[in-house]
């Protein structure tokens, strides 16, 4: 497959592979049209983004090549996403009308029973046995077609997500046909656009590489510790955190003490009502005459604390949490409690404390921040060195 070829290129040397990935003006123009769908700022930076994407692919090939194949074990393989990316890209450029693509040829033996018998039960560990995979590799789904080799059931199956695989094992023929149709459309679209790509001085293999780089960009940056990710840990950040000294943490603490403040005490008053109408009436009155004056005929829910709430009181319930949340010198609009009552809270003042330098809170936050700074600095240094090797100016 094409992706395996990309990986093999890296075996002959990272530097030569890196040179081959620098974008041509035609490729920059192609991607700029896509980026304009996201933002004009991104479009203006098209060439720089593509150059950085090339660097990121080199980093992935060198450090975590598994990402080039699949970002998550339970998800689709990357080539699945590349095909969707380019089908969309060609439509954005108005080069492709999907309705002009030939329909998937139907085969009589594609039935739910055939699918069930061929795939068998879903494997307990999610992985097909070697024998079963070999059997699937012998089943042709799409014939050889121009530049495309025949597609077998094994490659088709392996590209799917865990959820799709599970549905295929349950003999969901509609899913099978839908996913095979996606693959068929991509093959047909690339054939239909072969002349167009040549006219534009573009090649399918390079478009696939650029699409792959754009798709993997967040994951690679996350692995390198440069960008926050929603899932998973960055091995680079974990490595850097293991090298941080107590002295570095102490210095960070001294420079960022504002980041380690917490609300120690709150001066507050509050009134609880059974219905929203009464709460709103009180709120309007408090805004006119002041909270203390409006409170004269009501009971202050914080009386037992003499209006002074400690940090320990914060855990006592919704009203206390609201008092700590409000900015100082603020009267809250009526707020409905989880129990169906209504609150109006006046936060008068706040006193702040500072986490001790040796506290776990300080160590945790400082280590994360220092590691992130170092990861970003390392990345910047490596990227600039790579650009310099290629003769590119900063």
pLDDT digits over 141-150, tens only?
999 988 899 9
> Residue ranges of the alpha helices (H) in 138-275?
153-159, 162-169, 173-192, 194-199, 204-223, 235-241, 246-255
* pLDDT at residue 230 in the model: 59
Distances (CA, A) of 344 to 15, 191, 225: 66, 67, 44
Give the integer Cα–Cα distance in Å for 142 and 235: 40
* pLDDT at residue 335 in the model: 95
End-to-end CA distance of the chain: 36
Contact call for residues 171 and 116 (beta carbons, < 8 A): yes
Q: What percent of the chain has pLDDT over 70?
A: 94
Strand partners, 27: none
Contact call for residues 166 and 127 (beta carbons, < 8 A): no
Task: Name the packing angle between helices 2-11 and 46-63 (round to 10°).
Answer: 70
Average per-residue pLDDT for the chain: 91
Question: Is the pLDDT at 256 greater than 90, yes or no?
Answer: yes
Map tokens 């160590």 to a residue.
363
Q: At residue 322, what are phi and psi to the nearest 5 degrees?
A: -65, -40
- Calculate mean pLDDT across residues 23-46: 95
Please choose, from the candidates 326, 339, 342, the residue with its C-alpha nearest in 3D space to the C-alpha of residue 283: 342
What size, in residues, is the chain?
A: 394
Query: Which segments within the chain are labelled E, that is strand?
Result: 140-142, 151-152, 261-273, 308-310, 330-331, 335-336, 342-354
Question: Is the pLDDT at 390 greater than 70, yes or no?
Answer: yes
């Amino acid at each position: 497959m094409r992706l395996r070829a990309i990986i093999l290129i890296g075996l002959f040397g990272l530097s030569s592979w890196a040179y081959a990935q620098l974008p041509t003006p035609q490729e920059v123009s192609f991607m700029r049209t896509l980026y304009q769908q996201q933002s004009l700022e991104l479009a203006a930076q098209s060439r720089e983004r593509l150059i950085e994407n090339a660097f990121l692919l080199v980093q992935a090939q060198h450090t975590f090549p598994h990402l080039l194949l699949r970002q998550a074990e339970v998800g689709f393989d990357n080539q699945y996403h590349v095909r969707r990316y380019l089908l969309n890209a060609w439509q954005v450029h108005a080069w492709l009308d999907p309705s002009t693509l030939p329909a998937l040829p139907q085969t009589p033996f594609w039935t739910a029973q055939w699918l069930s018998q061929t795939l068998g039960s879903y494997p307990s560990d999610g992985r097909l046995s070697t024998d079963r995979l070999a059997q699937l590799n012998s089943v042709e789904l799409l014939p050889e077609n121009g530049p495309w080799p025949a597609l077998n059931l094994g490659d088709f199956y392996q590209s799917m997500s865990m959820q799709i695989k599970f549905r295929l094992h349950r003999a969901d023929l509609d899913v099978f046909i839908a996913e095979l149709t996606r693959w068929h459309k991509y093959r047909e679209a690339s054939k239909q656009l072969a002349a167009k790509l040549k006219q534009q001085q573009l090649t399918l293999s390079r478009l696939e590489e650029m699409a792959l780089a754009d798709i993997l960009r967040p994951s690679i940056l996350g692995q390198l510790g440069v960008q926050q990710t929603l899932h998973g840990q960055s091995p680079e950040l974990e490595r850097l955190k293991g090298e941080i000294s107590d002295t570095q943490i102490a210095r960070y603490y001294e420079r960022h003490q504002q980041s380690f403040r917490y609300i120690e005490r709150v001066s507050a008053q509050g009134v609880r009502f059974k219905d929203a109408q009464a709460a709103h009436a009180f709120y309007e009155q408090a805004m006119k005459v002041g909270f203390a004056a409006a409170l004269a005929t009501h009971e202050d829910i914080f009386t037992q604390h003499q209006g002074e709430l400690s940090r320990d009181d914060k855990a006592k319930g919704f009203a206390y949490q609201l008092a700590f949340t409000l900015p100082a010198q603020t009267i809250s609009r009526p707020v409905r409690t989880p129990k169906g009552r209504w609150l109006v809270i006046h936060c008068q003042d706040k006193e702040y404390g500072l986490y001790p330098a040796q506290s776990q809170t300080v160590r945790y936050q400082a280590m994360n921040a220092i590691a992130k700074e170092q990861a970003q600095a390392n990345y910047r240094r490596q990227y600039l060195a790579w650009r310099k090797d290629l003769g590119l100016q900063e």
